[in-house]
Structure 1
């Protein structure tokens, strides 16, 4: 058990900037930044800050998600971001990951991520890995996190940091066209083995996001033996009415299709991923005790919307071996002009120190942490 995740080291907004300046400016630090190189305007912020603090001691592995038929404007934005990232970090490798198979259009992004990590030439003396989730999709970012965590946990001197530049208002303007296939995120299919011994009782935790009604309906239609649906909504949030607006958008599904009781709603902070992690962890532990020896308990996550909340769900999925079901995006549309005209709110930043010597002689799989 990773008990340190319950209260692991985190920083927010200006605190992230200060942490980068103080920690990564140390001459003993050698860092690999793993991040997205797509169209998202948040792709360059962490790279800028790390480069300013570390110079040539930071190396980059940038993931370019290729979906086959991008909008021309978004293709140009992605090309510009890639060129800028290469200029910011001198030792930069760009790995192109095909999200869909050319043969049958099946989602294969998770396989490409494994190949990108296995094929990367890791520099000598790496002390820190930073995974920047700001411009990575769920189908790529989640497998990356698990692979990098395994890499770091096998090396006691290496720290793994997770950073996110979040902007919920900007996320609302990025609209994706879902593919037809519902699937597990690679590495997040849940416990293996047979469920024959006990009947399965599933709890589905869909994270509500703007414009995702049909996507979540598609996921729900593939699930059977669902005991309860517990939607995850952001509260507290920067927009105090965000939860109400989402509940209004999903009203028909919540009341008529999923039969959600108001007491089943899960409220988690839009700013702190540990709030979502702790909430899901508590639900998992209580549900296991409640149905022990009667049902086989299974919790299925479907994270959409806020990247910060999705990170908390990802941590819970890794820690408790939970299933994550999603629908891959065929192509994106981004209302960049509307965003500029609406005077967007500033980005939010989060740093989570997932693993490293800072937590003492912690051993994976043990509940004991030596301080």
Structure 2
């Protein structure tokens, strides 16, 4: 793709819906799989769906679990849903009974006192895998992001990929996502941080004085109801040009049009985005978003390198599945030496509009394989 190099995830392995179960059944039947299953503790009703399916299909080998607990601080509105999180935890213990061990890892979201408080969740999550002893005893790491915030799963998956690339090439890495648009719409951000930041491990010297003055291209993946987040990421990035990514096709055929209508003033009137800069990518295929972003970066590099080059910032205020495309593109491009970063802004807590049990029938599990035997 770039200067003669092929794309890392082309071809790729993505299975969803009925194909998810078929893949699990086939893959687990290939021989002993020593699996470490990583998931987040939370109130999201989808927390245990992935591991329940994985354990249902059986197979030989150990099935250990790493449970990540988020220390959000006493003021987080998410605490009101502690009983729901506790029920999810009880279900996890029932599922894992007699199957393997459950390790717990606490991720601090804040550091300092009320006056000098700062976000450290991204940094803490990036260090989780370095604390796992005997990682080499596993053949597979499965990271389930269904109940994790983006600030956690971006650096966590990035550190897993780095670990595998640098010293554990025998390990297969899989990502599981339980998608449900109706539930996503009912988990609402409660308070947005004043400032955006670059995800730990994905800043690549973007703010160095040596690169000041070099054009900066911002590629944001858009989702509904995130104008405040977009404006604050824009303030951090201060881009020279913007190439928004819209989900199309998507579960809602009009979603791309609805997003354009919602952000029309912001995108076209304030930021002066050219319609030709808009990128369309499938909502349920992160590898397509990954390809589109990589191609966009190549296009701008070829155009601007004779004039001194450019820098890139990726961000995603969107559903989990398509947001993974932003992570994959940033990870690969960073390893290829591109000046690229991954920008993010966090919510201070979450609230639910109503009970979500009515919508769980729409849950759909997806798995992405990012390394290991699937690519041999």
* TM-score normalised by L of structure 2: 0.88
Q: Does 1:110 align with 2:128?
A: no
In structure 2, the residue matched to 1:259 is 272
Q: Does 1:131 align with 2:143?
A: yes
Deviation at 1:291, TM superposition (A): 0.3
After TM superposition, the structure 1 = structure 2 runs for residues 323-334 of structure 1, keeping only pairs within 5 Å, are: 323-334=341-352
In structure 2, the residue matched to 1:240 is 253
In structure 2, the residue matched to 1:101 is 111
In structure 2, the residue matched to 1:140 is 152
CA distance in 1 between counterparts of 2:262 and 2:55 reads 42
CA distance in 2 between counterparts of 1:4 and 1:203 reads 23
Secondary structure, aligned partner of 1:206: strand
CA distance in 1 between counterparts of 2:211 and 2:224 reads 39
In structure 2, the residue matched to 1:214 is 228
Deviation at 1:345, TM superposition (A): 6.1
Cα distance, 1:180–1:61 mapped onto 2, change above 3 Å: same
After TM superposition, the structure 1 = structure 2 runs for residues 344-363 of structure 1, keeping only pairs within 5 Å, are: 346-360=362-376
Cα distance, 1:278–1:115 mapped onto 2, change above 3 Å: closer
CA distance in 2 between counterparts of 1:97 and 1:51 reads 26
In structure 1, the residue matched to 2:217 is 203
Query: Between Structure 1 and Structure 2, how many residues are aligned?
Result: 357
Question: Contact 2:206 / 2:341 at 8 angstroms: preserved in 1?
Answer: no
In structure 2, the residue matched to 1:270 is 283
Cα distance, 1:210–1:105 mapped onto 2, change above 3 Å: farther
Cα distance, 1:267–1:336 mapped onto 2, change above 3 Å: same
Secondary structure, aligned partner of 1:84: helix
**Which of 76, 88, 91 in structure 2 is aligned with 1:81?**
88
CA distance in 2 between counterparts of 1:192 and 1:201 reads 11
**Which of 160, 169, 173 in structure 1 is aligned with 2:186?**
173
Deviation at 1:198, TM superposition (A): 7.7
Q: Does 1:61 align with 2:98?
A: no
Deviation at 1:168, TM superposition (A): 2.3
In structure 1, the residue matched to 2:353 is 335
Secondary structure, aligned partner of 1:178: coil
CA distance in 1 between counterparts of 2:285 and 2:78 reads 33
More deviation in 197-206 or 41-50? Answer: 197-206
**Which of 201, 204, 215 in structure 2 is aligned with 1:187?**
201
**Which of 19, 23, 29 in structure 2 is aligned with 1:19?**
23
Unaligned 5+ runs, structure 1: 361-371
After TM superposition, the structure 1 = structure 2 runs for residues 150-165 of structure 1, keeping only pairs within 5 Å, are: 150-153=162-165, 154-165=167-178
After TM superposition, the structure 1 = structure 2 runs for residues 279-318 of structure 1, keeping only pairs within 5 Å, are: 279-318=292-331
Deviation at 1:49, TM superposition (A): 1.5
CA distance in 1 between counterparts of 2:57 and 2:133 reads 23
CA distance in 2 between counterparts of 1:265 and 1:7 reads 25
Secondary structure, aligned partner of 1:51: helix
Deviation at 1:313, TM superposition (A): 0.9
The structure carrying a bigger strand percent of its residues is 1
Unaligned 5+ runs, structure 2: 335-339
More deviation in 178-187 or 101-110? Answer: 101-110
CA distance in 1 between counterparts of 2:92 and 2:53 reads 12
CA RMSD in angstroms, aligned pairs only: 2.2
